[in-house]
Structure 1
Amino acid sequence: MMNIHKILKLLPHRYPFLLVDRVTELVLGERIRAYKNVTINEPFFTGHFPGKPVMPGVLVLEALAQAAGLLSFETMGEAPGDDKVFYFVGIDNARFKKPVVPGDQLVLEVSIDRIRGGIHKFKGVAKVDDQVVCEAELMCTMRPFDTE
């Protein structure tokens, strides 16, 4: 279990881009299960789409990536901090099966596929009401944070 206070210590994301509300299961080096409560108050619903709000698919992928980051940080025993950040380096086989709308609880299930040469590869599945809404293979790496 991980509440929002611990999540805020591990992830550099903040409103409006923090997309994980709680972690319900975490097995170090293996998998994580977390969720995002999707409400009509999300800023992206204003323009996506007026009168027919749908969570953008790229943000569902981002929520999976944030869950993957939490899994990696806890497994490594560190957070990115001010001097390094976890970057996406690839997304493969992304599939969107069903729209995510206000009122949904987006359940994020991510497992580590492998870690080689500083590249972390994950398998992610996002579900609503036990139905898959998105699945993808995510690749990330930690690099020094350079503002120049």
Structure 2
Amino acid sequence: MAMKKFLTETEVMDLIPNRYPIIYIDYVDEIESGKKIIATKNVTINEDFFQGHFPGNPVMPGALIVETLAQAGSILILKSEEFAGHTAYIGGINKAKFRQKVVPGDTIKLSFEITKMKGSVGTADAIATVEGKICAQCEFTFIVGPK
């Protein structure tokens, strides 16, 4: 039985400004409004970054895994009534750790959980996993501004 998607890729593009080649969320599994999101990125050999990272040994760059986590966070933030129609920006990335490679064929599950919010500035814990194993994690500071 297939799992129902909370948001499709088209619905994701209605929320965040990212477009090809830098939109990485395939769909959203679930959202706990204003608190937490779980989203999915299917990694394929067709990604343009694999042309140079690394030929013969394709590995998704860690910076792009962090970007994918940030996009999941943007969806969570901009899906809220308070910030609908705004844009979310990264204000800081702390404690970033990369624990295993992400390669073509992997499915990344992205978790972004808001831990503190004051006005239009907040912090969040973010974790990317492949088959239940952490491949990357960090803390974000984010700022929500006008579109």
TM-score by length of 2: 0.92
**Matching residue of 2:10:** 5
Secondary structure in 2 matching 1:65: helix
Query: Which of 43, 58, 76 is the aligned partner of 1:71?
Result: 76
Secondary structure in 2 matching 1:99: coil
- CA drift of 1:142 comes to 2.0
* Correspondence 1:58-137 to 2 at 5 A: 58-75=63-80, 76=82, 78-80=84-86, 85-137=87-139
> Once superposed, which parts of structure 1, at least 4 consecutive aligned residues long, lie more than 4 Å away?
none
CA RMSD, 1 decimal? 1.2
Kindly tell me the number of residue pairs found equivalent between the two proteins.
141
Task: Name the CA distance, whole Å, in 2 between partners of 1:45 and 1:79.
Answer: 33
Task: Mark the runs of 5 or more structure 1 residues left unpaired by the alignment.
Answer: none
Question: Structure 1 vs Structure 2: percent identity of aligned residues?
Answer: 38
Task: Mark the runs of 5 or more structure 2 residues left unpaired by the alignment.
Answer: 1-5
Query: Which of 137, 140, 143 is the aligned partner of 1:141?
Result: 143
**Matching residue of 1:39:** 44
- CA drift of 1:79 comes to 2.9
- CA drift of 1:144 comes to 4.1
Secondary structure in 1 matching 2:18: coil
Task: Name the CA distance, whole Å, in 1 between partners of 2:16 and 2:35.
Answer: 19
